[in-house]
Amino acid sequence: MARVTGSITESSRRRLSTVRAFGKVSIRNRLALTIVIGAVLVTIIDLVSGGRFPFLSSPLTQNLEVTLASPTWSHLMGTDEYGRDILSRVLAGAKVSVEVTLIVVIVGATIGMIIGVVAGFLGGIVDEVLMRLTDMFLAFPALILAAAIAAAIGRNLQASVVALTVVEWPWYARLARAQVLSLREQEFVLASRTLGASTRRLMFRAILPNVAPTLIIQATLDVGYVMLSMAGLSFLGIGAQAPLPEWGSMILDALSYQPQAWWYALFPGLALTITAFGFNLLGDGLRDWLDPTLRGFRTDFAMGEE
């Protein structure tokens, strides 16, 4: 019996030692700490945006008897001018903001990646035309161009998605083209061409898989920027419209009641800040993780020492 107890104790000590080693490395190593914090924040945001909370009232339910009520146990984040629970609206806004942002980033990155790969690999007149088209979009400040497009095609959430996608893809096209220019003369591409691989196969089977990881990391870094831009368009009144719970539009509605109703703008602003911060940390950590000059973290963790 003593042996069993001793083995259990020894096993527990080993697990505790592993946890402590990871904790020490995480604290000392910026890369590990960045990935851990970013992953935790993104996971929490994903659970919040995808979950249902039956214990909360609907984000559209009005109660004029408790308009602009400060935070209490009944309404942890207070209420707005219609008596709607701000906590419910912030959680519902997470679903709207995250889903819309991911649509913009995925569509924009995909379009830009295809255009960049085609332009960089084919070169010549095709490269010239596609890059001049890209430069035309890059010549304007992104947020101003997005605001102009959204205002022209309709002041709603769908127009904001289209507008932000239009201003996002040129950055990915430029990045993809730069990657292709450095890859198309590599030995594995030349060998595939010598063996008779078609242009289409070279672009999408040899080049694209090597370009995609860089663009995926860049897309992760851009999630926070796109989310802030989406909130900015809503704040300007050309994005999501009432009564849709969206963080930018909530902050816009709260301006008329400041500073008395301080909670009205505070909590949507905090949700927006934390979400953008989490995605930025995760993207920054992934970028550093794939940097060959930062491989030391893996050795540090494996050895449990700096």
Cβ(178)–Cβ(257) below 8 Å: no
Q: What percent of the chain has pLDDT over 70?
A: 75
- Mean per-residue pLDDT of the chain: 77
Average pLDDT over every residue of 101-123? 90
Give every CB contact of residue 230 below 8 A, 6+ residues apart in sequence: 97, 100, 101, 104, 160, 164, 239, 246, 248
**6 or 303, which is more confident?**
6
Q: What is the pLDDT of residues 217-238, one digit of tens each?
A: 888 888 888 888 888 888 888 8
- DSSP assignment letter at 154: -
**pTM, entire model:** 0.74
Q: What is the pLDDT of residues 51-65, one digit of tens each?
A: 555 556 677 788 888
d(CA 25, CA 40): 17
Q: What is the pLDDT of residues 175-209, one digit of tens each?
A: 999 888 888 777 777 787 777 777 778 887 888 88
- What is the CATH architecture assignment of 21-303? Orthogonal Bundle (1.10)
